[in-house]
Amino acid sequence: MKNTILFLLFILAIGCKKETNISPSKSTTHKAATTFTEGTNGILIINSFSAIGSQKQNEFGNTEDWIELFNTTGNTLNLESGKWFLTDDVDGKPEKFELPELSIEPYASLIIWCDKMNTVEDDIHTNFKLSSSGEKIGLFYYTGSAYSAIDICSYCSIKK
């Protein structure tokens, strides 16, 4: 268990950046906004995640699993609803959780809670939790006829 926690902390430390939470209802535009009509690899990435032992609290005061998306560009990204999806079932159901319409400021991150609440309150809550034993998580874009993988992360548990 200690090795698992150390491994996950190492993975998180590699991808850590200054955290900025952007809620869909609280987003603002400081630079020109870009609405993506096609998913493009490397523009929006899964920056980090926590599948066990999270210290972050959501708006309900709960420490839950989470995924952090990061805007790698100098422009505000406007994500259209019905186009962007997160999943923990990369090979079977890329459309598992549909992201709401939202904006992410330049070089900002967005925490999405993976707690099976399936709601958008102040924060976004998916309809799945992350497995502490490991799995693949993915960010997908729907082109109108197919789901394109934008970013996929695999992780596993280290057992002693």
pLDDT block averages, 10 residues each, the chain of length 160: 40 34 33 44 87 87 94 94 96 96 96 95 93 94 94 81
pLDDT of residue 39: 52
Secondary structure class of 149 (helix, strand, coil)? strand
Strand duo 97-98 + 84-87: pairing: antiparallel
Q: What is the CATH classification number for the domain harbouring 40?
A: 2.60.40.1260
Count how many domains the chain has.
1
Give the domain extent around 86. Answer: 2-156
pLDDT of residue 1: 42
Q: Contact at 8 Å (CB) between 139 and 127?
A: no
pLDDT of residue 46: 95
| Rounded Cα distance, 65 and 134, in Å | 13
Q: What is the pLDDT of residues 109-128, one digit of tens each?
A: 999 999 999 999 789 999 99
